[in-house]
Structure 1
């Protein structure tokens, strides 16, 4: 897919911290402070992880991830970016793009990841659907790995029902100082990203009444949700270590903040979005996420203090976004009062506009948003298909498979 790009002769661009280090191998995170004038002005890399459902011809989730990976010759050992691997449930596959600077390249690789996932599913007679929850009733099958089985035993129904699929966006940061400064500034806007991505209206065979019921299921985990401002990497690390020390979670990888410092990559990982039905929407969420990170980093470099973060308000704004998606009011981060979803999304674009222009992404974001407003996001489209089919959830799954690979 090719987008028309805005050309800026004096684009202020963010740091690149190295494409190779986005891989899923262990590395020491840089912690030294680097000022913008000391680094090259290039666009930040951005990568996307997508989780998908495996479904059969009848639309039901099928527990064939391990078989599909084995039959396709895929090494499911956390193989890094560009990989294909299993997730918490056997009814899921996960893809990961390489870190990309250009939005066109990212859009191509998102589609390529979906194609590779379907090729693996083909080997076991399954199909890949970008559905954040299964419309049809299911009983999830936990992947037979010690850590996952321990989580299933420790967390009961929360783990057993965790057949949900999200979209995680990784945006490069220079170091943990910049990363924490970003986390302290992007929180108010994360619920808007959720609203754009909402793609899970159905749960266990019923309309949940939510645009994103995944966000409701996900919020059951003890560490999920928004966070306070941390101020320093040391305070962030103290918070993570403190959660692990409670003995409630298995390890720091179960710190499920809406946005966090990645333990694998030198990135900020934004984790609020449903997996997007349409690959174009995934590209849109990635572009806006990079814009948020770049805008926050610039504010920090300029000495602009972070906004006051009130987790109880942020949690309520996220609930509102998950409840109605783009179909009703959202909570505006500018006023913390209700406002039409179209206006709040416009406020987000205005907030990150300079970063979008400098990255050459503004025209693409405008185009992709236009498609969402005209065609609806995943939640709206699923409900429209359900109504048009006379209430047939299998038809919803069938149409979702088609759009997943559009």
Structure 2
């Protein structure tokens, strides 16, 4: 097992990959707790980070009832936890200036008619997709993990794809939509699946294979630009990262940080498997769609498909297998204890979907669901400080990578990140 001791100069095989997150948040009225279309105004009022700062950026999203927080890359779970919490504080401060709160809810429990943000791209998307876009309001949790070449990135995509339904199940936090209980754990995933070019992908095999697939899809004229290739995981267009987009935004910042850390470990595990010549699992995307449908429907409360066997198994057993797969990386990064404890808490007490239903069950009031989300979104993290890794790789001061995510434009091999 690689040594845990810190060194000033680590080779690429041992380097800790930085990882950052994007959180999409629901904007609600401070008094009524109903969705409020002030996202653009709130984003405009947010304090902008100075050049080189790691403070998060608060930006507008597709709908006026949303805000997005983009955090800088981090090296440790402790720093990621601080970054997510700081981003939520910054978004709440921006929302407060226009009489609103932000909530970590992937879907709006109340019925509503969203309002497209007055941005030229979003208006074009509305014209292209009609009701699919105009009626759409969902908030995801996007995890960016550093890659060292596009070839490595595609190899990672090919190998993590079978585990993304399990990641979705762990994040499931959207049972309510339009005033009703949908009976899904993640109804956000169902809503998102209506969009063209969304969902799982087949094995690409190489960067050239990815590029051919990308060009063919753009050639149909349905996606207006590469940003509309909404795969469950993809190569980021602006940054040298793999972007995992399958997850719901999590109620708790601690759960979010651990989920991002788990995905970072999965990416590193996949990259090592590729370097060691291990083939990517040849599971068709059509099968993975059904695996994800199960995860969206029942979350962790039923069975999931076990990637090791292709058969059904209790959700907790599949999660245990995922932890087993990434254990060497989690242990090497000294993150295994914290991840184990938070995942065990999710399995024992339920994720966001179960907690929302429990809040609703008391009085059958959707307002109670929103009140729960308001408290959970801004509550201090659930990870005891004693369980956070105490390592000096990368940053141990909370300052992370001292660049904003968008400043890393190329790969170490000299190839540019697409723009």
The answer to whether the superposition gives a TM-score over 0.5 is yes
Give yes or no for the alignment of 1:156 onto 2:130.
yes
Q: Deviations over 1:28-56 (max 9, x none)?
A: xxxxxxxxx96362211011110000011
Q: CA RMSD in A?
A: 1.9
Q: CA deviation at 1:223?
A: 0.3
Aligned match for 1:170, one of 144, 160, 166: 144
Aligned to 1:49: 22
Q: Deviations over 1:270-324 (max 9, x none)?
A: 0000011111111121111011101110111011111112111100000000000
Q: CA deviation at 1:372?
A: 1.2
Matched positions, count: 373
Aligned to 1:130: 104
| 2:142 match: secondary structure | strand
Using the alignment, how far apart are the partners of 2:229 and 2:301 within structure 1? Answer: 31
Aligned to 1:31: none
1:296–1:201 Cα change, 3 Å: same
Aligned to 2:182: 208
Q: Deviations over 1:332-353 (max 9, x none)?
A: 1111211111111101101111
Aligned to 1:253: 227
Q: CA deviation at 1:236?
A: 0.4
Using the alignment, how far apart are the partners of 1:295 and 1:161 within structure 2? Answer: 38
Aligned match for 1:92, one of 53, 59, 66: 66
Q: CA deviation at 1:9?
A: 5.9
TM-score (norm 1): 0.89
8 Å contact 2:24–2:139 — kept in the other structure? yes
1:12–1:166 Cα change, 3 Å: farther
| 1:352 match: secondary structure | helix
**For residues 242-321 of structure 1, what are the structure 2 equivalents within 5 Å?**
242-321=216-295
| 2:74 match: secondary structure | coil
Aligned to 2:3: 10
Aligned to 2:169: 195
Using the alignment, how far apart are the partners of 2:74 and 2:180 within structure 1? Answer: 38
Gaps of 5+ in 1: 1-7, 17-36
Aligned match for 1:375, one of 336, 349, 355: 349
Aligned to 1:330: 304
Give yes or no for the alignment of 1:63 onto 2:56.
no
1:287–1:11 Cα change, 3 Å: same
Using the alignment, how far apart are the partners of 2:104 and 2:377 within structure 1? Answer: 5
Aligned to 1:359: 333
| 2:118 match: secondary structure | coil
8 Å contact 1:60–1:137 — kept in the other structure? no
Q: CA deviation at 1:72?
A: 3.7
Using the alignment, how far apart are the partners of 2:263 and 2:91 within structure 1? Answer: 24
